[in-house]
Structure 1
């Protein structure tokens, strides 16, 4: 689907326009802030003596309410167990954070420790938020008590000697009630604030510990490019060189994993219960769909999906494992590895026929790789045994990659040349990494060898896992749509394209998930994220204007997606959906076109927001978007869409009195393309709907029938302005049809060339009679001024004659 270049250019023009407008708005912010800061503070006022009894009663009720709220406040005991559990977990983790233990931990254990600290910090943050919510009403009550008490004391000070004895006693009793209320509110408030401070201290401690752990992670990454151990032959033939690590360190590393797993399990019991219900429902659904698949004719279901549909238990195990993997995305590495191993058999059984043809039984060798990998972890406290396991695993994986590469070259597979070349390249890359791992292990770079073997193993297995999940989802989605697909294809023209687009997007999402997993496995995800964040935050400055690279990228991506979605939706609505609905003539095209431009506007707003613009400037953005959208509209389409907008938004209705381009009249009819306007002269004016939206439209009767009347008038300089103003106000109030709310006003406008200029302004609730009311008011003003001997002067001009010819004077004299 192609996008018109003109529409893209209009979007870019919109972006530039809004950007420069926004910079101008921001330039005014400092002045506004300074004005707000320099505004005078309100002065404290005391209570009037007459209001003291009622204020005492209302404040006593207020104090009682505050005491009740403080009694109903969340008790500290509700939060202490959760805080105690966090302190216990943090204390247990703190035992592992020392130089000796951290130096002996593997990268995965360090990462788990970092995730565990982040997990506890998130819990502490949630607890802090809950404490803040509980503290806020109590803090507001204390603040209100302080203000009210200060007000009463100010009242007592200002009225010393003026208050009766009874009022004085009531105020003193109220002061004692304030003291009781402050004590009742401050007790739970102080306890909650103290607990909040403890949580803050815990978070600071977690932050310090996390910095230490991340420093060791960075140090571990630095060892990847160093020789960290003696050569393999030296380790094998020189017993003094090969030194064992304390076995307690291995136990500590596994304790970190188990503690994290237990704590995460306890903190999300509700979620796990929900997941169990979801998994049970999923099992029932898959069994039912598998039964339905058996009853379908062979020609309705593709052959490649039938083996998958015949194994609902394997599909259920795979999808269940996927759900738990998503839930454990930031959890323990050990739990992640266990989940991946539990899914090994379903992953193998749910591979496609093409995968079995390409790889054959060598696909099952991943189980052997995992077994050797686990054995290496078990003997990790023995450096020599660990390196031998690493050597064995790398050799097995290298041999397997070579065999698979030869199979791919020798066999003619049912694959496109591009897919086959990519597969061979991936297998060759994996083999090359194993060669590097073998060399690193032999010459003493154990850290890099471990990373390459482990990263390649998990990358291969994650690829197989994602392929199995893809095959399973597509098989069951295809089965679910099989019964409705023939009818859908007959009724729609875009079904095949939508299925294809959805499948490509699904494949893209899976590929991105695999890529993220690979980067994480090879320990470059964090550095990649930091690099992308730095690149996105890079600022391009043009004078006083600056914008980030990330904002520019997000803007272009959002604009492209908005155009693509809008075009797709318009095609589906206009060709597939709306023609099959019973609608008035022309409405289908109106709805599809309206939806198209609505999505364009929405997409451009999202793009501007992604580029860094504030949504509070919505009016400015909409103004700029209207310009960009107008560039892509033809006149007829513009009028048609404008008519639809007029019918939906109703800015005008039949009978409204409007003013447009100097023409005033009453709306007689609103059509899809034009609107008929009847002027007060009796003429009918046909106005295109686009003009009603693009030009300034004044609707005098949009919300009510009110109209302001204004009569300018000038009087002689010999008159008293105050007397004139009083006369004008009196006439305006007595004129029939003039509304008294808001009250009429007589405004002195200034000193004219020949007169003192006034303006009489009044409102009327009878719009259709405002001209006659104005005429009557003008006549009454004239009569009242004449009765008061107030002159309405003619314009005067002073003429200065410098020279006059003698003949002219003589002629005039004759």
Structure 2
């Protein structure tokens, strides 16, 4: 929020020379730091200001009342602190039971949920504190203003009633100021208590991470005796072993508390899902309205997911969003969400799988259930190892059943992705072999890891394949919608863009899958720590101190900004955007696109600079110098800039219009802020300054519509029947498919020429086919004249030569010229 306010301030300082905001800013005196200096109110304005100040005091009093959410946090905090204390004792019992690595990860996730819950409370309090700081600054300013007003009123000897009103306003502001200070102190105390609990939570998480990274959990540490020496009796559980097992009843209670404490997040989730459902339904209508004739199988599958599996796609996407959005949920809720995602993936993914491997989805779900059940069931050490051995052997059996004979299966033509999975089968066999052998020998840390990779990788692959299908369908649907609503469709460009989009989506999906895989095998956190140390090392050049992380963040923000502008341009710049509920006039989408794109770029630059730690207030001097430079040397640039804004908002021309300016005739390809691009009919792209389009006479042939009148002039020899000629001209127009029937064509007798009877034929066509229509009608007239024996005369002139003195013969030839 603070960064946003700094950004707004920076833009006001930079742009106020353009828009005349200097007068607004100069009305309030500021000191060297830019802080406003209070001044006494004029005596003649006191009565008017008293009324507005009273309303402001009432509004400020309402704002400074302790929020209901803060009161709720204050009442729940003692109970939650006691809960954390009890959970810390359970953690100590848990550690004493020598749990495996997966159970430690589960406990870390649970404590991370406690940390997030406390952070949520802290965030609510911080927001309220920040709001109070802003209100207090305004209140302090008003208090000082009315103090000065009161002192000035005493000097001016205003009436006692007026002086009394001024004093009352001043006292009210002082009272509000004290109330805000008192409330902030209460917030600070509550925040300090919450922070103490966060320190306890962080300490527990650090202890668990230290335990997880200790030698006991090394992959090649011998944690148990060989399986043949283990006892299979079920000893009585101690307290640590009881705490090691997830309680379903506690998880159910935790889900209830989670829902109550995340009401606002649930509302946001519902809105997000509603928007996604609306997008899927909209794209389904697009596929139904505009035929999708791509022959590529991947593109057809992407369309099929949205068009034929609409309900399944919506449910699957909603569950995935819930899993990704609600982080650190109770263990049972997270497992239920993944189980439901796997169930819904059956009708979503199975139809696109090779027939031989369709049923493998059911075994992936079974393996997930077997792996998850270990969290809620108690086993002795030997029983747990037998359970793992059974699971590993079951995976081996399933692989053999679906890939036998392997060499023949490997030669199947099932697509690159399926072929890659088949070629990874020997690696899975190797991991399972290691799992079985290490389990028998007692290296159960290695057993847990190899078995998890063998089973959970299939779960992640299935889920991400479903995500890939839906995301691909959404992107392909948007591209299809954008191109289908255009007047002219470049099918090659459309196909190339669709294939490129699918490739990008696959790369993103693979990166996300790889990150989840690293997290599954507990390598993501060490890698994050390694790169964090590298990117956080400070470097200094002169007076500038920076880190590699700052540079990466700077580049990332700029990249996201420009990618976002490209997406906005793609969606809106076609000029044909129209929704069912909102009809956008011609040119409005381009105006929206331009404004949004430049705002995104501008704020992206500001945020990127702020990420480098650059104080934006240092640009004040540069903003003033920029304003001075604009006044003297950049008049042409600013003139074109303002002309560009006029073109965008007044919309005298649109992208795709045919315009004529300064003997330049062509189609508008782009309308920019400084210049616009016009493509002539010869293929040349001409960059025209926007000021030329505003200052000169501009002919727009297609502004309101694209209908143009074509006129053909023709003459016939004397002696022709004018009535018959008019009928023939009308018949010639009717033979052309491009000529419009409304407005009706006109055949007119023009005048008696020197050598011919002159006629005019007028008809209307769409501008794009004007030349073709004129050519077709002219040829039709010629053919009809030939058919009816009507001649088109040459120009004729009679020449008479007088008799010369030395010649008796008078020559009076008559020639056709």
Report TM bin, short chain: 0.5 to 0.7
Q: Is the 8 A contact 2:66 2:183 kept in 1?
A: yes
Q: 1:462 to 1:544 in 2, by over 3 A?
A: same
In the aligned structure 2, how far is the partner of 1:619 from the partner of 1:547? 22
Tell me if 1:224 matches 2:217: yes
In the aligned structure 2, how far is the partner of 1:371 from the partner of 1:281? 32
* 1:80 corresponding residue in structure 2: 71
How far off is 1:80 after superposition? 0.7
Q: 1:185 to 1:233 in 2, by over 3 A?
A: same
How far off is 1:510 after superposition? 1.7
Structure 1: tracts of 5 or more residues without a match: 1-37, 579-590, 623-639, 651-668, 674-688, 694-814
What is the CA deviation profile of residues 327-363 of structure 1, one whole-angstrom value per residue up to 9, with x for unaligned ones?
2244334322211112323323333566334635344
Q: Is the 8 A contact 2:280 2:314 kept in 1?
A: yes
1:592-603 superposed matches below 5 A: none
* 2:368 corresponding residue in structure 1: 370
Q: Is the 8 A contact 1:86 1:124 kept in 2?
A: no
Q: 1:526 to 1:66 in 2, by over 3 A?
A: same
Q: Is the 8 A contact 2:227 2:440 kept in 1?
A: yes
Q: Is the 8 A contact 2:139 2:177 kept in 1?
A: yes
**Structure 1 residue aligned with 2:257, among 247, 260, 263?**
263
Q: Is the 8 A contact 1:293 1:479 kept in 2?
A: yes
In the aligned structure 2, how far is the partner of 1:127 from the partner of 1:68? 23
Tell me if 1:348 matches 2:346: yes
* 1:391 corresponding residue in structure 2: 389
In the aligned structure 2, how far is the partner of 1:523 from the partner of 1:351? 29
In the aligned structure 2, how far is the partner of 1:132 from the partner of 1:562? 28
Structure 2: tracts of 5 or more residues without a match: 1-30, 98-102, 577-590, 624-635, 647-660, 666-685, 691-817
* 1:208 corresponding residue in structure 2: 200
* 1:108 corresponding residue in structure 2: 106
In the aligned structure 2, how far is the partner of 1:473 from the partner of 1:138? 47
Judge which range, 507-516 or 313-322, deviates more: 313-322
Secondary structure of 2:230's counterpart equals helix
In the aligned structure 2, how far is the partner of 1:66 from the partner of 1:292? 52
Q: 1:102 to 1:72 in 2, by over 3 A?
A: same
Q: Is the 8 A contact 2:226 2:440 kept in 1?
A: yes
How far off is 1:498 after superposition? 0.8
Q: 1:428 to 1:89 in 2, by over 3 A?
A: farther
Q: Is the 8 A contact 1:351 1:468 kept in 2?
A: yes
In the aligned structure 2, how far is the partner of 1:462 from the partner of 1:491? 38
Q: 1:126 to 1:371 in 2, by over 3 A?
A: same
In the aligned structure 2, how far is the partner of 1:66 from the partner of 1:93? 43
How far off is 1:493 after superposition? 3.8
How far off is 1:608 after superposition? 7.4
* 1:435 corresponding residue in structure 2: 433
How far off is 1:289 after superposition? 8.4
Q: 1:495 to 1:166 in 2, by over 3 A?
A: closer
How far off is 1:89 after superposition? 3.4
Q: 1:408 to 1:39 in 2, by over 3 A?
A: same
* 2:528 corresponding residue in structure 1: 529
* 1:236 corresponding residue in structure 2: 230
How far off is 1:461 after superposition? 0.7
1:475-486 superposed matches below 5 A: none
Secondary structure of 2:369's counterpart equals helix
Q: Is the 8 A contact 1:112 1:256 kept in 2?
A: no
* 1:657 corresponding residue in structure 2: none
1:383-462 superposed matches below 5 A: 383-404=381-402, 406=404, 409-411=407-409, 412-415=411-414, 419=417, 422-462=420-460
What is the CA deviation profile of residues 372-397 of structure 1, one whole-angstrom value per residue up to 9, with x for unaligned ones?
22442233353332222122212222
What is the CA deviation profile of residues 635-689 of structure 1, one whole-angstrom value per residue up to 9, with x for unaligned ones?
xxxxx99997796389xxxxxxxxxxxxxxxxxx99999xxxxxxxxxxxxxxx9
In the aligned structure 2, how far is the partner of 1:77 from the partner of 1:642? 48
Q: 1:214 to 1:166 in 2, by over 3 A?
A: same
In the aligned structure 1, how far is the partner of 2:264 from the partner of 2:180? 30
What is the CA deviation profile of residues 422-461 of structure 1, one whole-angstrom value per residue up to 9, with x for unaligned ones?
3245333333333333344333343443344334422211
Q: 1:219 to 1:255 in 2, by over 3 A?
A: farther
Q: 1:562 to 1:422 in 2, by over 3 A?
A: farther
Tell me if 1:507 matches 2:506: yes
* 1:249 corresponding residue in structure 2: 243
Q: 1:56 to 1:294 in 2, by over 3 A?
A: closer
**Structure 1 residue aligned with 2:120, among 112, 119, 122?**
122
1:670-749 superposed matches below 5 A: none
In the aligned structure 2, how far is the partner of 1:141 from the partner of 1:573? 45
Q: 1:116 to 1:286 in 2, by over 3 A?
A: same
Q: 1:609 to 1:425 in 2, by over 3 A?
A: farther
* 1:95 corresponding residue in structure 2: 86
How far off is 1:173 after superposition? 11
Q: Is the 8 A contact 2:438 2:447 kept in 1?
A: yes
What is the CA deviation profile of residues 293-324 of structure 1, one whole-angstrom value per residue up to 9, with x for unaligned ones?
99999987868679866555543432232232
Q: TM-score when scaled to structure 2? A: 0.55
CA RMSD of aligned residues (A): 6.0
* 2:627 corresponding residue in structure 1: none
In the aligned structure 1, how far is the partner of 2:55 from the partner of 2:61? 10
In the aligned structure 2, how far is the partner of 1:40 from the partner of 1:564? 37
What is the CA deviation profile of residues 171-205 of structure 1, one whole-angstrom value per residue up to 9, with x for unaligned ones?
89987986676456524641453134213321232
Q: 1:41 to 1:259 in 2, by over 3 A?
A: same
Q: Is the 8 A contact 2:226 2:441 kept in 1?
A: yes
Q: 1:618 to 1:433 in 2, by over 3 A?
A: farther
Q: 1:643 to 1:408 in 2, by over 3 A?
A: farther
In the aligned structure 2, how far is the partner of 1:288 from the partner of 1:146? 57
What is the CA deviation profile of residues 144-164 of structure 1, one whole-angstrom value per residue up to 9, with x for unaligned ones?
6479769989999xx9xxx99
* 1:783 corresponding residue in structure 2: none
Secondary structure of 1:72's counterpart equals helix
Secondary structure of 1:75's counterpart equals coil
Secondary structure of 2:329's counterpart equals coil
What is the CA deviation profile of residues 454-499 of structure 1, one whole-angstrom value per residue up to 9, with x for unaligned ones?
3442221111122133334545776788799789795454111110
* 2:652 corresponding residue in structure 1: none
In the aligned structure 1, how far is the partner of 2:394 from the partner of 2:279? 40
* 1:194 corresponding residue in structure 2: 186
Q: 1:274 to 1:119 in 2, by over 3 A?
A: closer
Q: TM-score when scaled to structure 1? A: 0.56
* 2:515 corresponding residue in structure 1: 516
In the aligned structure 2, how far is the partner of 1:238 from the partner of 1:214? 34
* 1:15 corresponding residue in structure 2: none
* 1:648 corresponding residue in structure 2: 644
Q: Is the 8 A contact 1:63 1:181 kept in 2?
A: no
What is the CA deviation profile of residues 745-791 of structure 1, one whole-angstrom value per residue up to 9, with x for unaligned ones?
xxxxxxxxxxxxxxxxxxxxxxxxxxxxxxxxxxxxxxxxxxxxxxx
